Chain A
Amino acid sequence: MEEFGSVGKRIPKGDARDKVTGRAMYMDDLKVPGMLYGKILFSKFPHGKILHINTSKAEKLIGVRAVLTGRDIPPIRFGFLKDNVPLKWGKVRSYRDEVAAIAAIDPDIAEEGINLIEVEYEALPGVFDPEEAMREGAPLVHEVDARGNSIESNVLQLPWKLVAGDVDRARSGSDYIAEDRLKATWVTHVCMGTMGIIAEFDLRNNLTVYANTQIPYLAQRDYSDALAAMGLKGSKTRIIQPAIGGGFGSKLDTYGQDYIAILLAHKTRKPVKIQFTREEEFFATSPRQPAIINITQGCTRDGKLTFRDVSMILDNGAYASWGATTPSVMMMPISSLYKVPNIRYIARCVYTNNTWSQAMRGYGNPQATFGIECNLDHLAEMAGVDPVEIRLINSNTPGEVTPQRFKVTSCGLRECIEKVAERLDWEPKHGRRDGRGVGMASLIHVGGGARVYKSDGCGTIIKVDDFGSVDVFTGATDIGQGSDTVIAQVVAEVLGVEVEDINVVDNDTEVCPWDVGVHASRTTFVACNSAIGAAKKVKEQILELAAGYVETQKDKDGGKREIKLDEDPSNLIIKDRMVFSKRDPETKIPLGKILRGSHYKTSGKMVMAEYFYDPDNENLDREFKGNLSMTYAYGTHGVEVEVDRETGKVKILKYVAAHDVGRAINPMLLEGQIYGAVCMGVGYGLTEQLILDKGECMNPNFRDYKILTAKDLIPVEPIIVETLDRDGPFGAKGVGEPGCVPTAPAIVNAIYDAIGVRIYDLPITPEKILRALREKEGKKTQ
């Protein structure tokens, strides 16, 4: 076993002290002198024409400094298909549509002003069901695309299709075939800190934005485009991120409120803040995408998978954000979870007048895995193969190239399955149908970045001061997951200093280097590899300075002696803030001394280095194939439930979550990721649902949108499987998202084992269980 100083240790999160003392500043805590408060008027209709807007009363209200409508603003377009504008004009397409906005000297006046704006609409028939929206003659949500070309159908022109092998042939050669239809609905991020932004212009029209974004550098670019559209081409944008009160994907795009704040700030020449209320956070931020999943899998007599055939319909909502691209990630489990030689997948994203979706932890993977893993249990039962067995038979293995051309390097899936089965006591517990049951589901996810943009890179700059303290400037963003800490750990490890010596700076585009954003569980892998690259360069510089370094030291009896470090840098070691020669580890010189020495001598030198790491992964090609990630993360979740046949209530008795993480750089933070993701995943499975009635959010509050509380505590037992990935930082892979991927299907499978009904419609409420039980009983008695 390698001995590490910092890596592998349960080191507290870097900013935890600030957070437990209330010192950490979040968006909601920030004020800038002279700041105005922005507020948005949202649409009163899910689909309608805007006939007239009268803002005159609002403008006259004392304290109101600016009012904006779609008429007053330049043509700024945003979103994945550029089908969205900050303030709507002509037509609204959802209750989230921004119709007007106000900047005022305090929040109450802004609110009052909003209520004084009169909008006359003409209601249009809406579409709220993606299948209906696909029918001929359905009302069109968009009549023209961003380029002005007319649109004939609500189906987005996105070619989501993946084919490998020959599914039809494999189907006819299969001994068993299971077919299912499943549905997953909207769930939302519920970041405890709501979205917020402050926009401010200086006298040269340079823009400073404070925002709790997950993509500072991509947002910088979006905002710069907006500035150009405002006639401010060449103006600079700086983004400062305060502490981010949770980020699970909703902060991966730029939104109407961002541009509105920028426009209001420009109009008033004052800083303008827009901070979402909890209600706005629920109805006006983008949830996880609902999916209708049709899936068929086949296997041979002995349980070998022969094919997987999946088609999906995704309710895109009114505008296209990253939600529309989730099929690109759904392809991953569909093509590569277990060995399946023949694959077919097609997905259609459909415009509706509902809220529009976005990335959310797992990015489509939870929906796809829900389909795959429920259907796999169904197939296993038909084939008479034990669910554990069918997963082991088809488990991925190192060295495999999957049908999507993913190159599997390290893979601990088999171990995860075995350990979960063992910990659950599978054999005696499975198959009893006595109200208690066990179920499992596995996952694959990108674990070594994901080349979804042209770059998957992250930059790091490291500078070392006079005393051996190290400032690490990283492009990575900490959303609570602990990138600030793991980066410090790997840098400390490489440099031979302590984690306390490392200060990670990660919140200002003006000083930090570039990064594509915190998504795809990429930060530990990419940002740590980048930090290691920079740290190695810094170490080289230090050792060069140290080589041949001469110092006079006092010995114990008061005499003086001259000590000298080895002339050859490669013979030197930095450890515990000291530098010494391999051959003579007793003769040590403090690191700080060497660094100071280099600053105070003629032709001195500053120790500083940068490194840009862009993993050697591939963009998917036209057929959506290619090695998307440098490595893949695997895991298996197992759950034991008790189902009350009278009330339909599900109780989770045991929850085992095994994850192949490559290496646990910080087991404590890693477990935190697993606990938190499982809790969110169980919510997805059992309790959470954004209820939309004809496009209107009916439960924009914590009372009616049920996230799990400490009362519902899930007794998660994490099992960490270390496969030491060859490309990972100290062997690590990403783990931020995986924990919420296989949760819902593991629960579905356990419920089936307990009471013999498969609930294929999330969330699995008691009502659905009772209904399914009744239906089953009805069938029996018929």
Chain B
Amino acid sequence: MKYALSFILNGDRTEVGIEAHWTLLHLLRDRFELTGTKEGCGKGECGACTVIVDGKAVNACLYPAVELEGREVLTIEGLTDAGGDLHSIQKAFVEHGAVQCGFCTPGMVMSAKALLDENLKPSEEEIRMAIAGNFCRCTGYIQIIEAIKTASKGR
């Protein structure tokens, strides 16, 4: 079954034909070649695929593409401004050593973004809870949390 879907992708109005069983992750990675959003498990367990839909962090691997109608999606590619300048969260990740292999990073950054958009000055506990679903095997999370703290201070 094919559907015509119209939604906003990283600020751009977008119309695309999709199949009923597509996930948002499939739509992003395979249809739009926006490979910044990663697949770590495909089952909603690791957070590598985190993107923001209407202001909320979601696991793109579980999110049915058909549900996107009329909604607004922000992916890691949409975070950097037109001039290529990094978002303050991205900057903080770079400067705090929050990135090692980097596979978890886009998802982690998007979870942080959703948090900071909602909560200007989150406590450490709130930061930890916001990224509890984003697994990282390299960093032990400490520098990631520091980075998110710094980004929240800069606001």
Contacts and interface: CB of A to CB of B under 8 A. Distances in A.
Interface of A: 10, 12-13, 15-26, 28-29, 189-193, 243-248, 277-278, 479-482, 668-669, 671-672, 675-680, 701-703, 707-711, 713-714, 716
Nearest to A22: B36
A29 B48 CA distance: 13
A21 B40 contact: no
Contacts of A278: 40-43, 45-46
Nearest to A30: B35
Interface stretch (B1-9, B63-71, B134-142): B134-142
Given A480-B100, A671-B97, A701-B43, A17 B86 contact: yes
B54 interface: no
B35 A711 contact: no
Contacts of A25: 35
B41 A680 contact: no
Interface string B30-56: 000011111111110110100000000
Contact of A710 (B45, B99, B101, B144): B144
B131 interface: yes
B75 interface: yes
14 contacts: A17-B94, A22-B75, A28-B39, A191-B101, A243-B103, A246-B103, A247-B101, A248-B137, A480-B101, A676-B137, A702-B41, A702-B46, A709-B132, A710-B141
A50 to B, nearest CB: 30
B128 A192 contact: no
B60 to A, nearest CB: 13
A779 to B, nearest CB: 38
A677 B43 CA distance: 26
Contacts of A482: 100
A190 B99 contact: no
B105 interface: yes
Given A675-B142, A707-B137, A20 B42 contact: no
Interface in B63-103: 75-77, 79-80, 86, 90, 93-97, 99-103
Nearest to A485: B97
Nearest to B76: A22
B103 A675 contact: no
A678 B140 contact: yes
A110 to B, nearest CB: 15
Contacts of B99: 13, 16, 19-20
B86 A702 contact: no
Contact of B139 (A248, A672, A702, A711): A672
Nearest to B132: A711
Given A672-B139, A702-B46, A192 B36 contact: no
Contacts of A277: 42
Contact of A20 (B38, B86, B133, B134): B86
A55 to B, nearest CB: 27
Contacts of B86: 17, 20-21
A125 B136 CA distance: 39
B24 interface: no
B143 interface: yes
B129 interface: yes
A21 B145 contact: no
B25 to A, nearest CB: 11
The binding surface of chain A is classed by DSSP as loop
Contacts of B45: 278, 701-703
A317 to B, nearest CB: 22
The binding surface of chain B is classed by DSSP as loop
Interface residues of B, number: 53
Nearest to B102: A19
A246 B100 CA distance: 8
Contact of B142 (A248, A702, A713): A713
Contacts of B145: 710, 713
Contacts of A675: 139-143
A305 to B, nearest CB: 32
Contact of B137 (A15, A22, A191, A669): A191
Nearest to A10: B97
A709 B95 contact: no
A277 to B, nearest CB: 7
A714 B143 CA distance: 12
A192 B142 contact: no
A12 B76 CA distance: 20
A19 B138 CA distance: 14
Nearest to B105: A19
Given A17-B90, A19-B99, A22-B35, 4 more contacts: A16-B102, A19-B106, A713-B128, A714-B140
Contacts of A671: 97, 142-143
Contacts of A20: 76, 86, 90, 93-94, 99, 102, 105-106, 109
B59 to A, nearest CB: 12
A702 B105 contact: no
Contact of B101 (A18, A479, A703): A479
Nearest to A26: B103
A480 to B, nearest CB: 3
A120 to B, nearest CB: 31
B103 A711 contact: no
A115 to B, nearest CB: 17
Contact of A680 (B34, B132, B137, B142): B137
Contacts of B27: none
B104 interface: yes
A696 B137 CA distance: 24
B9 to A, nearest CB: 14
Contacts of B143: 668, 671-672, 675
Interface string B103-123: 111100100000000000000
A21 B79 contact: yes
A616 to B, nearest CB: 31
B100 A13 contact: yes
| 10 tightest Cβ-Cβ pairs between the two chains A and B | A22-B36, A19-B102, A480-B101, A675-B140, A679-B140, A245-B103, A480-B100, A22-B76, A702-B45, A29-B35
